[in-house]
Chain A
């Protein structure tokens, strides 16, 4: 069936640099997309979301880009900090009151 996947399972970034986490999706019917952060032993934490009729959305230190042409989603984290170390999941929702389907996850490792 259709699924959401990630290009890289692990990403190592120098502290202070920008991080870019990528995600490919295949369900063109999805209405919006969400990025979650999950620290070890905890539940997922909402970071930012984006509707399918948008191509960019910015939050505090984070930016999500959506390219519907190639079905690609990315999360950019500016000035990466040690506290950003976690697993990041992209997720898709077909419509806003529907279930959330999670992608595979990327572990972000911060180098000192």
Chain B
């Protein structure tokens, strides 16, 4: 089946720094990628949808200037958490969709901001 990877799998950073998370589709081209955030014992909340070569569409309440998304190629999307603070600590999950309708999820990235 289709594989989506994320890097890093976990990251610890200091408050005020920026962190970049990568999402890659390994064996297919993803026209659309999605970014989710999951707090402990909660569900996945969609943050934004990105289409290759165009600007991301953010969900209501998600700050686009804080969570920068780049989808420069059909196999890579990046999420940059700028000026991270402890409340940004969460599990970030991406998913990727090819021309078919199936979304494939990545393994997630655990972000801890000190």
Query: Which residues of A are in contact with B by a Cβ distance under 8 Å?
Result: 36, 41-46, 89, 96-97, 99-105
- Label chain B's interface by main secondary structure: strand
Q: By the criterion CB–CB under 8 Å, are B43 and A43 in contact? A: no
Q: Interface digits, B99-114 against A, CB 8 Å rule (1 contact, 0 not)?
A: 0011101111010000
Q: By the criterion CB–CB under 8 Å, are A43 and B108 in contact? A: yes
With an 8 Å Cβ cutoff, the count of chain B residues facing the other chain is 22
Q: By the criterion CB–CB under 8 Å, are A43 and B101 in contact? A: no
Across the interface, B44 reaches (CB within 8 A) one of A45, A96, A102, namely A102
B68 lies within 8 A of chain A by Cβ: no
**Residues of A with C-beta under 8 A to B95:** 100
**Residues of B with C-beta under 8 A to A104:** 42-43
**Residues of B with C-beta under 8 A to A89:** 43-44
Q: By the criterion CB–CB under 8 Å, are B107 and A44 in contact? A: no
Among A96, A102, A103: residue with most chain B CB under 10 A: A102
**Residues of B with C-beta under 8 A to A41:** 91, 108, 110
**Residues of A with C-beta under 8 A to B101:** 96-97
B77 lies within 8 A of chain A by Cβ: no
What 8 pairs across the A-B complex have the smallest Cβ distances? A96-B101, A43-B105, A102-B43, A102-B44, A43-B108, A43-B107, A44-B105, A43-B93
Q: What are 10 A-B contacts with C-beta separation under 8 Å?
A: A43-B105, A43-B106, A45-B105, A46-B102, A89-B43, A97-B97, A100-B95, A103-B43, A104-B42, A104-B43
**Residues of B with C-beta under 8 A to A44:** 44, 93, 105
